[in-house]
Amino acid sequence: MKAALTHCHKSLLHQLARRLQKFPRFYFLSLEDVLHIVCNGYDLRQINNYIIKLFENIGELTYTEPDESEKNLFEITGVKSVLGEHLPLKQAIVCEGQIESWLPLLLSGITSALQTQLAVVMGAEVPLEDVPKKKAIRSAGSRKIVVHSSQGSRPTSKQKPMGKLPGSRAGRKAEDKRAQSQSRSKFQLRRLRLSRGPWTM
């Protein structure tokens, strides 16, 4: 009997470990809470007792009750904060299958709804999720390059080649060569004028 109970306990822990990997937020809960959530995942009335442990500041889920013909198929239409503020989802989440399979969809739905609400408050014409993201890269010489991550955007601005710094050793050599070339040109021009005579310019 004891061996059978030990085997059942190990099998249960193995099953819970597989479900923890599918939804990593379960790792922050005790095994007892995870077991209650997994066993009652078909009933959102029971899940509302643990939802604040999965999503911070979310008090409860708002949903539509399933019909008798569609048993165990709740549809989440929004969430409520602990202060009673309601956030409607852009698309209802159908609670079909195991709870760890639709909880990631709920998380992405909440994120998308918050981005839309933030865009409306800020007066943006498009949601923030549709705005192409830009990355700023600083290269040598403190020059800023803007990289557009979305497709079809402007190409990356290329950095112009930097010349030799005037205070460096290579810069001094370049200046010396330039001065020698100019003096040599003046000397040759003067010599040419003297060879032609005083009547030439």
Could you tell me if 103 and 34 are in contact, meaning their C-beta atoms sit under 8 angstroms apart?
no
Question: What number does CATH give the domain 2-125?
Answer: 3.20.180.20
What DSSP state is assigned to residue 72?
T
Helix (H) or strand (E) holding 123: none
Q: Which residue has the tokens 């959102």?
A: 44
pTM beyond cutoff 0.85: no
Q: How far is CA 134 from the centre of its chain?
A: 11
SS (H, E, C) 103-150: HHHHHHHHHHHHHHHHHHHHCCCCCHHHCCCEEEEECCCCCEEEEECC
Q: Is 161 left (phi over 0), alpha (psi -120 to 50) or beta?
A: beta
What DSSP state is assigned to residue 164?
-
What residue spans in the chain does CATH classification 3.20.180.20 cover?
Answer: 2-125
Q: Collapsing DSSP states into helix, strand and coil, what is residue 132?
A: coil
**pLDDT in single tens digits along all 201 residues of the chain:** 788 888 887 888 888 888 888 898 999 998 889 989 988 888 888 999 999 999 988 999 999 987 765 556 789 999 999 999 999 999 999 888 889 999 999 999 999 999 998 888 888 755 555 555 555 555 455 555 555 555 554 544 444 445 555 556 766 777 787 877 777 777 676 666 666 655 444
